[in-house]
Amino acid sequence: MANVPEDLQYSAEHEWIDGEVTVGGEVTVGITEHAADALGDIVYVEGPALGSAVTAGEVCGELESTKAVSELYSPVTGTVTAVNEELAATPENINSDPFGTGWIFKVEVAEAPTELLDAAAYGELTA
């Protein structure tokens, strides 16, 4: 079973969100261990551009593994305040440490999202 940390929130598209999800707050976004395991060895990540606007539930980038390509969705609406530049050289961090060094981008939340899941609900979704 893939790890689902209790202190994070989740989207149905398999992103995790760390931080206070309130208007004006900054959250960190990545993909879950479940999603990383399903994709296999990730070799390329294209996150949203720094300063760009992202919308909850919409595509904001892509992830590519040897086996497959997957779209990256933003779980929240807001402005991108940081992108993980290290992933360009070490995309495998998403596989080895999806909830840590494998973080993908940070967003200043502009709208409070309505459809996030807690760890228990996400765990059920992927059980």
Partner 1 sequence: MPVRYTGDIAEHNAVRTSAGLFDLSHMGEITVRGADAVAFLEYALVGRMGAVGLWRAKYTMLCAPDGGVIDDLVVYRRDWDHFVIVANASNKDTVLGELRDRAAGFQVTVADESLAIALVAVQGPRSEAIVTAMISRDADNIGPLPYYAATNVVLQGDIHAFVARTGYTGEDGFELFVGADEAVEVWRLALAIGGDALAPCGLSSRDTLRLEAGMPLYGQELTRETTPFAAGLGRVIAFGTDANPRGDFVGRAALEAARDAPPKRVLVGLVGDGRRSPRAGYAVTDAAGTVIGEVTSGAPSPTLGRPIGMAYVAPEASAVGAEVLIDVRGRGEAMTVAALPLYRRT
Considering only 18-26, 35-43, 101-109, 119-127, which stretch makes contact with partner 1 by CB under 8 A?
Answer: 35-43
44 touching partner 1, by CB under 8 A: yes
Max Cα distance, the chain (Å): 38
43 touching partner 1, by CB under 8 A: yes
Tell me the per-residue interface mask from 45 to 84 with partner 1, x by CB under 8 A, - otherwise: -x---------------x-xxxx-x---------------
90 touching partner 1, by CB under 8 A: no
CA distances from 105 to 46, 121, 125 (A): 10, 23, 24
Cβ distance to partner 1 smaller for residue 78 or 91 = 91
CB atoms within 10 A of CB 28: 18
Q: How far apart are CA 84 and CA 22, in angstroms?
A: 22
Sign of torsion, CA 55 80 84 20?
Answer: negative
Q: Encoding tokens for residue 110?
A: 């502009």
Positions in the binding site for partner 1 (CB under 8 A): 40-41, 43-44, 46, 62, 64-67, 69, 95
